[in-house]
Structure 1
């Protein structure tokens, strides 16, 4: 069994590593040729920028009274443009969140509270559809169409420059995504902070390559904007006047892909402030293991399983490559599980051999080479993870990112198993609900991050 596990895990680890290696090489080529340069944007440019049209900002909520006030207050203070309307969707049976939204508005006429006409939770997509209906009604009453729709979550801290970048990029694209930057958590160095390296590398390299290849850009659900006409076209194509499938667990992912499938141009935009700080949406991600697994279960279920069912495939090579990458989560979990089982068996075998029991596993030259290649690619991957994490969060966090690799792998295994079970239940007719995570902390409360608004 040990020999078979070694062969299985080793071969498929190599395949996954070569996939990532191709992204690395593509990014390096772009970097060397100047195609991956990140422009700088100064405060004066942000301050004097006037929107080219109305921006509608959508924030769906369910039991977010602990963070929604901070999000609204910070957003309205750093996005001072008058030509925006912030639509916050709440459920009629969520009085605490409704009260927090009203309190945070502080009489600002740019905020529009939208109360869902059903009890929550349903799904995030359903809540977004309710907000979309409110926007459509407002546009009809006022005789004025929004130019773009911006999406955020209840726990986000927006960047002062984000609206400027989105407004400029939407001139030539139907969908625009900015980076997302999960913040390190002192009270959750190994669980909550592991998102730092994943997004630093994905939004610093993989998405950049994806954009360069002309492949569809999946929406992160926050820090992204859609051209208003393109969103209406998407709603018309799906029927019922709603742009989001109410039974989708990853309506954000499907948004970017759907715009591209409808012929729209997608763009991923990276920029930095004059200080070097990345223009990005910042937030504290879940910090408890149960919440992390629940969130990643939703991602794997929605992207890998529902995405295969709902979005299918295309004939474009670059698009096929990206969708395979998106949907490899469940199989990667199986390979990781095989790898850890192999490690446990090898440890037991070495102990038994040292005690004089059994014979050590004889490795052929092919297996030795396989192990050598896997070790090389592990070190290569760890180096990249350190570099991208250290660039955004410092050397100490970069080192922790390398040490967190086993943690991230175990979470991936747990989420993959749970997603498979959840998908099987939906096939059996179980209802899809908003299995969201709770949020307590908000980065705008911290002095170091709140200063961005000044």
Structure 2
């Protein structure tokens, strides 16, 4: 029966499927070329020996004195279940006297305050800072409160902090990360170290897809970005800033003691790029210990779909949408290229959604052809070329994803990495849609809403809690 312009329902489906194929195929091709450029640059640096990960003697670094005071800042809100293990771990494996651990809590969150106080066990290096505002405000606001407390301590002691580190409430720091950052900070303003999500037996697919993404992003993409001299985004954990550059950022913000952008959902990302805009020197510090283990911050990432979508909504909203508004497109060609890569999340989500709809329509059309409801025409040369090239690009991407997962997590996780690609795509689609809705609300005057990530720890993360030498 004809339903539209003389076309049957199956013919309308076939037409829609063809248009979706052209749309998704064209944009997938553009994205594939973008990724291949990064891949080829990384391969070239590997060939000439400039992308190899150096090794350090862990034994020689453990407990090594620092060149100055290092302030570690951990903002919290309702983290009573995880913050105790985090504080105990950090104070144990980082036994340097120069360490100052600032943990920010809210006055209406007594459970977290109690957990921090109990974990400290009288260690004088801990600074428990209770925010006078009711939480949650925002991560940046809590960080600014910690920064203000640090400034007060500096004035009281007459000793200026040398570098400031940022971590989250569930992070398990590497025992040699602090002395490594201390040594590398000379002549630099910002350093980012790798982040390694922990595989979780009860969530091999949702939590596991973070393993794949971070293994590749912090094993290749950040290496290339650093080599190109583009601004490095801070991950919010495992990052260190020279004390002076934070004063410079605060001055640019029009304040004396607030370097973190309280209106941004991704203040860490923005801070890294601001430092580059101000002429600061940044570096991505990727090294392995003599045992082959990567020196990195380890943590359990969200294990449920709704939690992962909420977290990635904040990332897409803050980086792609707010980042466009707040940071613009300044800088050299390589800088703009990297910002374009950062901000392609909403478009990528739309393209992936179109591709999955095309796959569903393709099954319907195949069934229609099989039962004689429709005779599918032979695909044209353009459609064939798009399908072939994009299939090759998918295989290329899958090989890279599996290779980096294998390097950090072994064969089992590498095999799962291939199967987790659809999981990663679906979460990205849901987060992209949700971020666009949230951004639309801000355009109508509603302030950005901060949705805190649900944190948890894991016994496997406590393997390095033995006292340092």
Matched, 1:306 2:302: no
Partners of 1:408 and 1:25 lie apart in 2 by 24
What is the deviation of 1:425?
1.0
Q: 1:337 aligns with which of 328, 353, 357?
A: 353
Aligned to 1:10: 25
Q: 2:40 aligns with which of 6, 17, 25?
A: 25
**Alignment RMSD (CA, Å):** 1.3
Aligned to 1:120: 135
Aligned to 2:426: 410
Verify the 8 A CA contact 2:228 2:334 in the aligned structure 1. yes
Distance 1:166 1:446, change over 3 A: closer
Q: Deviations over 1:317-375 (max 9, x none)?
A: 11010000000000000000010010000000000110111121431112211111111
Q: Structure 1 residue runs of 4+, over 3 Å off?
A: 442-447, 449-454
SS of 1:58 mapped into structure 2:
strand
Matched, 1:372 2:372: no
Note the residue ranges of structure 2 that are not aligned, 5 or more in a row.
1-15
Note the residue ranges of structure 1 that are not aligned, 5 or more in a row.
none
What is the deviation of 1:426?
1.4
Partners of 1:156 and 1:222 lie apart in 2 by 8
Higher-Rg structure is 2
Q: 1:387 aligns with which of 377, 381, 403?
A: 403
TM-score by length of 2: 0.95
TM-score by length of 1: 0.98
Q: 2:96 aligns with which of 64, 81, 84?
A: 81
Verify the 8 A CA contact 2:63 2:94 in the aligned structure 1. no
Aligned to 2:450: 434
Verify the 8 A CA contact 2:314 2:450 in the aligned structure 1. no
Verify the 8 A CA contact 2:92 2:465 in the aligned structure 1. no
Partners of 2:321 and 2:304 lie apart in 1 by 25
Q: Deviations over 1:98-152 (max 9, x none)?
A: 0000000000000000010100001100000100110111111111110000010
What is the deviation of 1:451?
6.3
Q: Deviations over 1:348-407 (max 9, x none)?
A: 000011011112143111221111111111001000111000111011100101100011
Matched, 1:250 2:266: yes
Q: 2:229 aligns with which of 200, 211, 214?
A: 214
Distance 1:445 1:313, change over 3 A: closer
Distance 1:452 1:384, change over 3 A: farther
Verify the 8 A CA contact 2:288 2:294 in the aligned structure 1. yes
Aligned to 2:4: none
SS of 2:437 mapped into structure 1:
helix
Partners of 1:344 and 1:292 lie apart in 2 by 25
Matched, 1:69 2:60: no
Partners of 1:383 and 1:22 lie apart in 2 by 16
Verify the 8 A CA contact 1:444 1:450 in the aligned structure 2. no
Partners of 1:67 and 1:363 lie apart in 2 by 55
